[in-house]
Amino acid sequence: MYRIADEGSVKLYIPEEGKISKKLPVFFNPEMKLNRDIALYIIGKLKPERCLDAMAGTGVRALRILKETSCTNVAANDLNPEAAKLIKRNAELNNLDLEVHNQDLNVLLRQGQWFDYIDIDPFGSPVYHMDSASIALRNNGILAITATDLGCLYGKFVNRCRLRYSSVPLNCHFGNELGIRIMVQKAQCDAAKHEKALFPIFVHATRHYVRAYLRCLNSSSFANRMMKGIGYMQYCPKCLRQITSTHPLKEKCCGNDMLLAGPMWLGHLWEEKLAEDFGLIKHIREESKIHTVGYHHIPTFCKKYNIPEIKRIDDIIEDVKSKGYLASRTHFEPQAVRTDMPHGEFVKII
């Protein structure tokens, strides 16, 4: 039923090979190794004292935190009794002292325990646990959340996004970034009810999931500042113009109302100091320095404006920089450019 595998510096028992689904006796996804590698990078940089792997499965993330970082106070939780048994077995296999819980996560987070780092990595949406997580976070603690319900966040299932995230998504060429901003906004509004503020310090979109790391500041003044950073994205599908606004009133463009998405977080997505040494995903280091919402997908622009020949991305970036603006590639889309250049000037560059 189980076999021994390696990840990072730990060995662990995992289910025999089979389709990755909720039907596994204990959930384990080897494709999420990058997700866990990045979590280890963040923890290594920020050095939290007490960490919780909230939906631990086999316990691989918690065990790697203990083995590969300076954090020595780590807890792992899973609602599945079989998973809790396997986590203890894997801790023994690695001779590690791991605190193991077998509880409903919302119950665990509301029992008065405090954490400096809470990692919620569900099969689906994190929305059902973000409110409880904000209660259990210490000041300056980190909430790490993963979402795999991308059809919801990226604009395919609009009503489902309204129900889960209290926001309207947008099915467009930069919808994945907006999806992260919508998820962040939902976590922020949950925290604000407890007079806490959550500010993103690192995000990424990778294949079948999106991920955000949020720093918690326990202060009503920070919460007020945070809420001022929430607003809306307006988008014209005819000319591809993008504008942000603090209100949900639609602007006119090309003779019609622009499409409206939000509410969502409109502020920075990365702390530059946290991203400057990061090399696990291409282009995050460069784009973290450009504080804009959305990016420009070059093939979409060329098709919309009937441009027969696509310029090289690197040439476009150099042309934009020569005009005195910031520009870089983006990890969200290989054929796209992030820049603070105004829309009209960017069209001329292309």
Task: Write phi, then psi, for 69 (nearest 5 degrees).
Answer: -130, 175
Q: What would the two tokens of residue 98 be? A: 């791991």
- Range of lowest pLDDT (13-17, 140-144, 245-249): 13-17
Task: Write phi, then psi, for 120 (nearest 5 degrees).
Answer: -110, 110
pLDDT per residue as tens digits for the range 253-269: 999 999 999 999 999 99
The residue-averaged pLDDT of 44-73 equals 97
CB within 8 A of 78, min separation 6: which ones?
26, 55, 56, 57, 84, 87, 101, 102
Bigger pLDDT: 30 vs 17 = 30
Q: pLDDT band for position 116 (50/70/90)?
A: very high
Ramachandran class of 102: left when φ > 0, alpha when ψ lies in -120 to 50, beta otherwise: beta
Structural domains present in the chain: 104-294 (3.40.50.150), 300-350 (3.30.56.70)
- Amino acid symbol at 113: Q
pLDDT per residue as tens digits for the range 155-198: 999 999 999 999 999 999 999 999 999 999 999 999 999 999 99
Q: Give the span between the Cα atoms of 21 and 23, in whole angstroms.
A: 5
Q: Match 């906004």 to its residue by tokens.
A: 185
Q: Do 247 and 266 meet the contact criterion of CB atoms below 8 Å apart?
A: no
Q: Give the span between the Cα atoms of 49 and 43, in whole angstroms.
A: 10
User: What pTM, to 2 d.p., does this model score?
Assistant: 0.96
Q: pLDDT band for position 21 (50/70/90)?
A: low
Strands (E), the chain: 2-7, 10-15, 50-53, 73-77, 99-101, 115-120, 137-147, 197-206, 209-217, 230-235, 242-245, 252-253, 256-257, 259-265, 296-297, 327-330, 333-339
- Range of lowest pLDDT (219-223, 236-240, 279-283): 219-223
- Mean pLDDT, the chain, rounded, equals 95
